[in-house]
Amino acid sequence: MSSIATQPDESGASLHWRALERLYRSAPINELFRSQLEVTGTGAATIRFLVEPQAYHAAGAAHGTVYFKMLDDAAFYAANTLVTDRFLLTTSFNLHFTKPVREGEVIAEGRWVSGRKRVLVAESRLVDAEGEEIGRGTGTFMRSRIPLSSLPGYSGGSD
């Protein structure tokens, strides 16, 4: 097993990206969040999601859980575009809240920053419907022992 991130060729990249999108859709946690992942390039991922009242804290805005989930996922999938054989694991994530958000569409934009061996670093930001940044984060992600090909969402056909 190589410990260096493997970068697919152009046609292989597209297949890998679509498989990552299927993997995202297959995760049971995403039944709780109305969201859609799009891998937009090597080291880049975007998640569109809706903030709805059931995700509010007592003061009537989105709970930090929503911020973390979407920031972590966007950064994770941006990093996993560089690794075609193994599932990554989040080892740490630093989160900054910059503005509360209420109901509406929010976009999480993730991008790979550095690392190609065992640990990769990626960052992400959340943008509300008015185009204002509402949060940002940076995560470190480690190659796991879990082959991507062993995960039904990754290896399954189109849905």
> Taking the chain, what is the end-to-end CA distance rounded to the nearest angstrom?
30
Amino acid at 36: Q
Domain boundaries, the chain: 10-155
- Is domain 10-155 given the CATH code 3.40.50.970 in the classification? no
Q: Which residue do the tokens 């960052």 mark? A: 123
Letter string b/e over residues 53-90, b meaning 16 or more CB atoms within 10 A of that residue's CB: eebbeeeebbeeebbbbbbbbbbbbbbbbbbbebbbeb
Alpha helices (H) in the chain, listed in sequence order? 10-26, 64-80, 152-155
Question: Tens place of pLDDT for every residue, the chain, 159 residues?
Answer: 444 555 545 578 999 999 999 999 999 999 998 899 999 999 999 999 999 999 999 999 999 999 999 999 999 999 999 999 999 999 999 999 999 998 899 999 999 999 988 899 999 999 999 999 999 999 999 999 999 999 989 987 544
Give the strand pairing for 104-114 and 86-97.
unpaired
CA distances from 94 to 14, 33, 57, 64, 103 (A): 30, 21, 21, 13, 24
The helix, strand and coil proportions of the chain, stated in percent and rounded to the nearest 5, come to: 30, 40, 30
